[in-house]
Chains A and B, each alone.
Chain A
Amino acid sequence: MADGPVAEVLLQRLEAADGGLDSAELAAELGVEHQTVVGAVKSLQALGEIIEAELRSTKRWELTTEGEEIAREGSHEARVFRSVPPEGLPQSELMRLPSGKVGFSKAMSNKWIRVDKSAADGPRVFRVVDSVEDEVQRRLQLVQGGQAEKLGEKERSELRKRKLLTEVNLKTYWVSKGSAFSTSISKQETELSPEMISSGSWRDRPFKPYNFSAHGVLPDSGHLHPLLKVRTQFRQIFLEMGFTEMPTDSYIESSFWNFDALFQPQQHPARDQHDTFFLRDPAQAQQLPMDYVHRVKRTHSQGGYGSQGYKYNWKLDEARKNLLRTHTTSASARALYRLAQKKPFTAAKYFSIDRVFRNETLDATHLAEFHQIEGVVADHGLTLGHLMGVLREFFTKLGITQLRFKPTYNPYTEPSMEVFSYHQGLKKWVEVGNSGIFRPEMLLPMGLPENVSVIAWGLSLERSQVSSPSSATSSANRQLMMLEGKSGPYFSSLDSSIDILKKRAQELIENINESRQKDHALMTNFRDSLRIKVSDLTEKLEERMYQIYNHHNKIIQEKLQEFTQKMAKISHLETELKEVCHSVETMYKDLCGQPEATTLEEEQTHKDSEC
Chain B
Amino acid sequence: MPTVSLKRDLLFRALGRTYTDEEFDELCFEFGLELDEITSEKEIISKEQGNEKAQGASDVVLYKIDVPANRYDLLCLEGLVRGLRVFKERIKAPMYKRVIPNGEIQKLIITEETAKIRPYAVVAVLRNIKFTKDRYESFIELQEKLHQNICRKRALVAIGTHDLDTLSGPFTYTAKKPSDIKFKPLNKTKEYTACELMNIYKTDNHLKHYLHIIENKPLYPVIYDSNGVVLSMPPVINGHHSKITVNTRNIFIECTGTDFTKAKIVLDIIVTTFSEYCENQFTVEAAEVVFPNGKLHTFPELAYRKEMVRADLINKKVGIRETPENLAKLLTRMCLKSEVIGDGNQIEIEIPPTRADIIHACDIIEDAAIAYGYNNIQMTLPKTYTIANQFPLNKLTELLRHDMAAAGFTEALTFALCSQEDIADKLGLDISATKAVLISNPKTAEFQVARTTLLPGLLKTIAANRKMPLPLKLFEISDIVIKDSSRDVGARNYRHLCAVYYNKNPGFEIIHGLLDRIMQLLDVPPGEKKGGYVIRASEGPAFFPGRCAEIFARGQSIGKLGVLHPDVITKFELTMPCSCVEINIEPFL
The verdict on A285 contacting B465 (CB below 8 Å), with A224-B401, A280-B439, A324-B450 known, is: no
User: B406, A222: Cβ atoms under 8 Å?
Assistant: yes
User: B411, A414: Cβ atoms under 8 Å?
Assistant: no
User: B441, A278: Cβ atoms under 8 Å?
Assistant: yes
Q: Mark B472-508, 1 if CB is under 8 A from A, else 0.
A: 1111000101010101111111010000000000000
The verdict on A480 contacting B474 (CB below 8 Å), with A224-B411, A388-B379, A389-B379 known, is: yes
User: B394, A235: Cβ atoms under 8 Å?
Assistant: yes
Known: A225-B411, A385-B377, A440-B361. 11 other contacts (CB 8 A): A221-B405, A222-B409, A224-B401, A241-B388, A250-B493, A281-B438, A285-B488, A382-B384, A388-B374, A483-B414, A486-B464
* B386 CB–A CB distance under 8 Å: yes
Q: What residue of chain A has the Cβ atom nearest to residue B406's Cβ?
A: A222
20 chain-A/chain-B pairs, Cβ below 8 angstroms: A235-B394, A242-B386, A244-B390, A252-B489, A252-B491, A267-B152, A273-B441, A279-B437, A282-B491, A322-B437, A322-B491, A324-B450, A383-B380, A385-B378, A388-B377, A408-B68, A414-B362, A414-B363, A480-B474, A484-B461
A232: chain B residues within 8 A (beta carbon) = 398
The verdict on A322 contacting B490 (CB below 8 Å), with A251-B416, A406-B34 known, is: yes
User: B493, A277: Cβ atoms under 8 Å?
Assistant: no
User: B360, A280: Cβ atoms under 8 Å?
Assistant: no
A478 to B467, CA, bound (A): 12
User: A312, B489: Cβ atoms under 8 Å?
Assistant: no
User: B405, A223: Cβ atoms under 8 Å?
Assistant: yes
A188 to B370, CA, bound (A): 79
A414 to B363, CA, bound (A): 6
User: A222, B318: Cβ atoms under 8 Å?
Assistant: no
* B382 CB–A CB distance under 8 Å: yes
Q: Mark A389-402, 1 if CB is under 8 A from B, else 0.
A: 11011000000000
Q: Mark A485-512, 1 if CB is under 8 A from B, else 0.
A: 1100000000000000000000000000
Q: What residue of chain B has the Cβ atom nearest to residue A221's Cβ?
A: B408
Interface contacts (Cβ under 8 Å), in number, total 295
A248: chain B residues within 8 A (beta carbon) = 391
A251: chain B residues within 8 A (beta carbon) = 416, 450, 479, 481, 493
A409: chain B residues within 8 A (beta carbon) = 1, 32, 68-71, 357
A417 to B366, CA, bound (A): 10
B404: chain A residues within 8 A (beta carbon) = 222
A244: chain B residues within 8 A (beta carbon) = 386-390
Q: What residue of chain B has the Cβ atom nearest to residue A236's Cβ?
A: B398
* B304 CB–A CB distance under 8 Å: no
User: A362, B446: Cβ atoms under 8 Å?
Assistant: yes
* A88 CB–B CB distance under 8 Å: no
A483: chain B residues within 8 A (beta carbon) = 412-415, 461
Specify which of A220, A307, A362, A383 lies most central, judged by the most chain B CB atoms within 10 Å of its CB. Answer: A383
Distance in angstroms from B487 CB to nearest chain A CB is 8
A239 to B389, CA, bound (A): 7
User: A309, B444: Cβ atoms under 8 Å?
Assistant: no
Q: What residue of chain A has the Cβ atom nearest to residue B446's Cβ?
A: A362
Q: What residue of chain B has the Cβ atom nearest to residue A273's Cβ?
A: B441
B412: chain A residues within 8 A (beta carbon) = 225, 480, 482-483
Q: Mark B415-439, 1 if CB is under 8 A from A, else 0.
A: 1110000000000000000000111
The verdict on A369 contacting B382 (CB below 8 Å), with A312-B261, A359-B443 known, is: no
A44: chain B residues within 8 A (beta carbon) = none
User: A277, B442: Cβ atoms under 8 Å?
Assistant: yes
The 4 closest A-B pairs by CB, nearest first: A385-B319, A383-B319, A407-B32, A282-B490
Query: Within residues 550 to 580 of chain A, which ones have a CB less than 8 A from any CB in chain B?
Result: none
User: A238, B388: Cβ atoms under 8 Å?
Assistant: yes
User: B380, A347: Cβ atoms under 8 Å?
Assistant: no
Query: Within residues 471 to 487 of chain A, which ones have a CB less than 8 A from any CB in chain B?
Result: 478, 480-486
The verdict on A439 contacting B388 (CB below 8 Å), with A251-B416, A284-B490 known, is: no
Which of A249, A386, A414 is B479 in contact with, Cβ under 8 Å?
A249
A282 to B492, CA, bound (A): 11
A309: chain B residues within 8 A (beta carbon) = 359
User: B393, A249: Cβ atoms under 8 Å?
Assistant: yes
B316: chain A residues within 8 A (beta carbon) = 381, 383
Q: What residue of chain A has the Cβ atom nearest to residue B398's Cβ?
A: A232
* A110 CB–B CB distance under 8 Å: no
A312: chain B residues within 8 A (beta carbon) = 259, 261-262
A369: chain B residues within 8 A (beta carbon) = 415-417
Which of A222, A235, A278, A406 is B405 in contact with, Cβ under 8 Å?
A222
A349 to B156, CA, bound (A): 40
Query: Within residues 30 to 45 of chain B, which ones have a CB less than 8 A from any CB in chain A?
Result: 30-32, 34
Instruction: Give the interface residue-count category, chain B.
Output: 35 or more
A348 to B384, CA, bound (A): 8
A505 to B110, CA, bound (A): 62
User: B31, A245: Cβ atoms under 8 Å?
Assistant: no
B457: chain A residues within 8 A (beta carbon) = 484
The verdict on A279 contacting B386 (CB below 8 Å), with A222-B410, A286-B488, A383-B316 known, is: no
User: B362, A440: Cβ atoms under 8 Å?
Assistant: yes
User: A480, B443: Cβ atoms under 8 Å?
Assistant: no
Query: Within residues 261 to 289 of chain A, which ones have a CB less than 8 A from any CB in chain B?
Result: 267, 269, 273, 277-288
B122: chain A residues within 8 A (beta carbon) = none
* A357 CB–B CB distance under 8 Å: yes
B443: chain A residues within 8 A (beta carbon) = 359-361
A310 to B362, CA, bound (A): 15
The verdict on A252 contacting B320 (CB below 8 Å), with A288-B488, A312-B261, A416-B366 known, is: no
A246: chain B residues within 8 A (beta carbon) = 391
User: A245, B390: Cβ atoms under 8 Å?
Assistant: yes
User: B379, A303: Cβ atoms under 8 Å?
Assistant: no
User: B152, A269: Cβ atoms under 8 Å?
Assistant: yes
User: B359, A384: Cβ atoms under 8 Å?
Assistant: no
User: A393, B413: Cβ atoms under 8 Å?
Assistant: no
User: A386, B375: Cβ atoms under 8 Å?
Assistant: no
* A160 CB–B CB distance under 8 Å: no
User: A437, B317: Cβ atoms under 8 Å?
Assistant: yes
User: A482, B360: Cβ atoms under 8 Å?
Assistant: no
B556: chain A residues within 8 A (beta carbon) = none
Distance in angstroms from A291 CB to nearest chain B CB is 14
* B460 CB–A CB distance under 8 Å: yes
A324 to B481, CA, bound (A): 11
User: A386, B380: Cβ atoms under 8 Å?
Assistant: yes
User: B473, A222: Cβ atoms under 8 Å?
Assistant: yes
A388 to B461, CA, bound (A): 41
* B369 CB–A CB distance under 8 Å: yes
* A415 CB–B CB distance under 8 Å: yes
* A253 CB–B CB distance under 8 Å: yes
* A75 CB–B CB distance under 8 Å: no
A441 to B361, CA, bound (A): 11
* A518 CB–B CB distance under 8 Å: no
A88 to B437, CA, bound (A): 109
A484 to B462, CA, bound (A): 8
Query: Within residues 183 to 241 of chain A, which ones have a CB less than 8 A from any CB in chain B?
Result: 220-225, 227-228, 232, 235, 238-241
A568 to B514, CA, bound (A): 65
User: B31, A407: Cβ atoms under 8 Å?
Assistant: yes
